[in-house]
Chains A and B, each alone.
Chain A
């Protein structure tokens, strides 16, 4: 579904991604962990070309996303992206945030878009907040609306960029719960997160990144057994039991 082949990226003279290779198959959940500045967010941002790369290839459904034949705007509709800072559109209600893409990109009628949006709001448990403006929602509610906004476009894969890092601790749970339900439903996902508990429970594979390199990978069980001496083990001990 998504394949990274020797991906290199520089910010000026600083190499932030160095020879990353890996594959995410349909229905898999990969969790990216690692210290901040290790390139996790940058890596998933390359998938929808929010970041351009200088070496290697990123393929979605075997198509190089940098090639001219790929319509990036269509690709982005198929690949949902959830930001750390939610990035809801403050001039539109919760519902309006979700229907914008449906009416303007999918060409749905207002009524159909509204119905579809309400379904997604129901999935994240926020039907009663449909007409609220984002400024009046809590952080957790905003992030759930942002997830619903992505899901409404029927993505084949969802990318999460530290979706709980900006939240107060008591709101982390509600967002993780929504993500777990999504994973249980068979969604293909790549999540950048520091929530190790979430990773253990949901991930098919954990990728550990440091200084722009993917230095360790394995299922939560494998990593738990070989944790003792590894870099990942040391990292997991530092961020706590989760």
Chain B
């Protein structure tokens, strides 16, 4: 296993770069970060639309979220793969395809997290802001969203972990990322699939577990900042 790692660590890390396109772990992280960043505004828009008092905003947003939740990510990837060339008018690479599909997919899931974050705020916050005379947008941007997003920080990190895991589907459309790199290594070696995919699994595990632990740490900090969880009251 160590030998495989010694001979191929560069391929796992950056793909075929500099002799070919950049890939591997670096590309995995890049795609995950990029799609999460790009989907963020859409997610906030969807969340606000779902909480809107207007039906014409609420219904389409709800429909979008449910449709995304009902379809496998791979379906989005294929839709994007086959149809963005028709729309854009040129061939679209694997990385772009994956990022577009992930933005749509993650926006729906992230919007649910944001919505829960907003709904989790005490009603008094909006009431206090509106009684100060603030209108909808100032209330939302200055009072509601900052608090909701702060409380949601752990969920955002978890969402980043999900996105990292989902970029592995890039393999299916030959986007050059970590899983694709491992498959290439496996195709060269042929005889040690367990070791190659074991290394791949452990790499993802180390990365995602570290981030998951970070999310837990932040969650404890945040709940401690709120005065902590209610302690156990000893009965008289």
Contacts and interface: CB of A to CB of B under 8 A. Distances in A.
Interface stretch (A34-42, A62-70, A88-96): A34-42
A233 B236 CA distance: 20
Interface string A119-150: 00000000000000000000000000000000
A36 B236 contact: yes
Contacts of B236: 35-42, 162
Number of contact residues on B: which range applies?
Answer: under 10
Given A38-B236, A40-B236, 14 more contacts: A11-B234, A16-B234, A35-B236, A36-B236, A37-B234, A37-B236, A39-B236, A41-B235, A41-B236, A42-B235, A42-B236, A84-B235, A161-B235, A162-B236
Could you tell me the dominant secondary structure of chain B's interface residues?
Answer: loop
Contacts of A37: 234, 236
Interface in A150-181: 161-162
Interface in B181-236: 234-236
Interface of A: 11, 16, 35-42, 84, 161-162
Contacts of B235: 41-42, 84, 161
Interface of B: 234-236
A40 B234 CA distance: 12
A164 to B, nearest CB: 14
A148 to B, nearest CB: 23
A144 to B, nearest CB: 22
Nearest to A161: B235
A36 B236 CA distance: 5
B231 to A, nearest CB: 13
A182 B234 CA distance: 29
Nearest to B236: A36
Contacts of A36: 236
Nearest to B235: A41
A87 to B, nearest CB: 13
B230 to A, nearest CB: 15
Contacts of B234: 11, 16, 37
B55 to A, nearest CB: 33
A183 B236 CA distance: 24
6 contacts: A11-B234, A39-B236, A41-B236, A42-B235, A42-B236, A84-B235
Nearest to A85: B235
A31 to B, nearest CB: 15
What are the 10 A-B residue pairs with the smallest beta carbon separation, nearest first? A36-B236, A41-B235, A37-B236, A41-B236, A40-B236, A11-B234, A38-B236, A42-B235, A39-B236, A42-B236
A35 B236 CA distance: 8
Contacts of A16: 234
Contacts of A162: 236
A35 B235 CA distance: 12
A1 to B, nearest CB: 24
A161 B236 CA distance: 10
